[in-house]
Structure 1
Amino acid sequence: MIKKFLVFSALLCSAVFCNAQNAQLEAAVGKLTRLMVTPDSLGLDSILLDNLSYGHSNGGLQSKPQFMRSLLTGASDFVEIDLTDKQVVIQNKIALVRHTLSAKTNDKNIPGKVKLYILLVWSNEKTGWKLLARQAVKVPEK
Structure 2
Amino acid sequence: MIKAILLFLLSFAGLASQAQKRELNDMKFSLEVLRLAMLSGDKAQLLQVTTPELSYGHSSGLVETQEQFIEKLSSGKSDFVSINISSQTIALYKNAAVVRHELNAETNDNGKAGTVKLQVVQFWVETKMGWQLASRQAIKIQ
User: Which amino acid is the alignment partner of residue 11 of structure 1?
Assistant: A
Q: Find out whether 1:14 has 2:7 as its counterpart.
A: no
Question: Which residue number in structure 2 is paired with residue 43 of structure 1?
Answer: 45
1:110 matched to 2:112 = yes
Deviation at residue 49 of structure 1 after TM alignment: 0.4
Matches within 5 A, 1:51-66: 51-66=53-68
* Residue in structure 2 matched with residue 23 of structure 1 by the alignment: 25
What are the Cα deviations for residues 23-49 of structure 1, in whole angstroms up to 9, with x where unaligned? 000000000000000011111111110
SS in 2 for 1:28: helix
- Secondary structure at the aligned position of 2:48 is classed as helix
Amino acid in the other structure paired with 1:84: S
Residue in structure 2 matched with residue 96 of structure 1 by the alignment: 98
Give the TM-score, by structure 2 length. Answer: 0.96
TM-score normalized with structure 1 length: 0.96
The answer for unaligned runs of 5 or more in structure 2 is: none
Match of 1:64, as an amino acid?
Q
> One-letter code of the match for 1:131?
L
What SS class does the counterpart of residue 45 from structure 1 fall into? helix
AA in 1 matched with 2:128:
K
Structure 1 residue 9: deviation in Å?
1.1
- The percentage of aligned residue pairs carrying the same residue is 31
Give the deviation of 1:3 after TM superposition.
0.9
Aligned ranges for residues 48-87 of structure 1 at < 5 Å? 48-87=50-89
Aligned residue for 2:130? 128
d(CA) in 1 for partners of 2:26 and 2:130?
Answer: 8
Q: Distance in 2 between matches of 1:136 and 1:51?
A: 18
Where in structure 1 are there 5+ consecutive unaligned residues?
none
Which residue type is aligned with residue 117 of structure 2? K
Determine if contact 2:41/2:75 at 8 Å carries over to the other structure: no
Shift of 1:127: 2.4
Residue 128 of structure 1 and its aligned partner are, at CA, apart by 1.0
